Amino acid sequence: MSAGFYIGDEKTVESVPSPLLDILLLYRSLVWDLSTTLYLRGEMGKITIVNNTKDKITVSIGDTGESGGAGFYEIASKYSDTWQRNLLQVCYVLRADNGNTEVFVGEPGKTYQIGEAGNIMIMNEVTIVNNTNEKITVSITNTDENGQLKFFEIASKSSSAWKRSSLQVCYVLRTDNGKTEVIVVKPGKKYQID
């Protein structure tokens, strides 16, 4: 048996034996699976866990679709460890300080802070959106961070983002009314300046 088939945007009208067609279709689905599941840049990333508790933590980072082990590893208080991963993975953290287990999805290129209060802080973006009709000037503190403490202009109807892993103070100097707004900002949130 034979059939015509599509590859890309072109229709191939040649007759192809069914087993070969099955292989081509399988190959195409594999390419689709790989292109939709790999880390966006296609590079090996790092998932970093930082222990900010007063006691050790025991961590396991999944290895689904990866090489490397998913064993359990201890991280001493105030230390960190890094795993090479290029796919999203399930992360398990057993805390010795309170006996709780925290489970979350780890993304390559991110740092996860395991803190005193039991919350997981993710190095994420704080986004400031300028909805005013004039530029604004913004600075976000970098307490316990590596970011720059400078003022940056954001044009009207534009936005900008800063990488942070903990609560910070944001200063917004408004050109439209001459006022300064002070906001406590949280990573992973978007703040609208109207």
Q: Do 139 and 187 belong together in one domain?
A: yes
Of 47, 45, 120, which is closest to residue 81 (Cα–Cα)? 47
3-class secondary-structure state, position 42? coil
Note whether residue 23 is domain-resident: no
Q: Given this model, what pLDDT does residue 69 score?
A: 73
10-residue averages of pLDDT along the chain (194 residues): 40 44 45 37 70 91 82 91 89 90 87 67 76 94 72 92 83 93 87 92
Note whether residue 16 is domain-resident: no
User: Distance (Å, rounded) from C-alpha 132 to C-alpha 73?
Assistant: 49
Q: Given this model, what pLDDT does residue 189 score?
A: 84
Q: Given this model, what pLDDT does residue 136 score?
A: 96
**Amino acid in the structure at residue 25:** L
The pTM (predicted TM-score) of the whole model is 0.43
Q: How many domains does the chain have?
A: 2
Q: Do 100 and 65 belong together in one domain?
A: yes
User: Distance (Å, rounded) from C-alpha 111 to C-alpha 109?
Assistant: 7
Note whether residue 115 is domain-resident: yes
Domain of 187, CATH number, reads 2.60.40
Note whether residue 36 is domain-resident: no
Write out 148-181 in H/E/C secondary structure.
Answer: CCCCEEECCCCEEEEEECCCEEEEEEECCCCCEE
